[in-house]
Amino acid sequence: MDFLKLVAELGFPIAAALAAGYFVFLTLKFILAGVTSSVNGMGGIIKGLDARVDTMTNQLQRIDVKVSHALGLQPDYDRIARAEQADQRKD
């Protein structure tokens, strides 16, 4: 009933344009909701990968120091100090 009143007052082309605009709005809203959820999921994956990279970096430094000690070499203390400074908590 309301659509017929709108057609009677504004004319069919204007009422059809409004209906098509509403349809486009709903379609875009649905598509953007799906994209947003995908981006949030990828953000969680990236945070997990970042934590793994930090862990691997720490493990590589430990291995480097152990191998240097086993071979009787002097470890690169400057590089270790720079890495420890970057690993400090930020809270």
pTM beyond 0.85? no
Rg (CA), the chain: 30
Q: Exposed, middle or buried: residue 61 (CB in 10 Å: 0-12, 13-18, 19+)?
A: middle
For residue range 3-45, list pLDDT tens digits in order. Answer: 788 788 888 888 889 889 999 999 999 999 989 989 998 999 9
* Six token digits for residue 32: 């953007």
pLDDT in tens, 51-84: 898 888 888 888 988 998 899 888 888 887 777 6
Residues 6+ apart with CB under 8 A from 37: none
Nearest to 19 by CA among 4, 33, 29, 30: 4
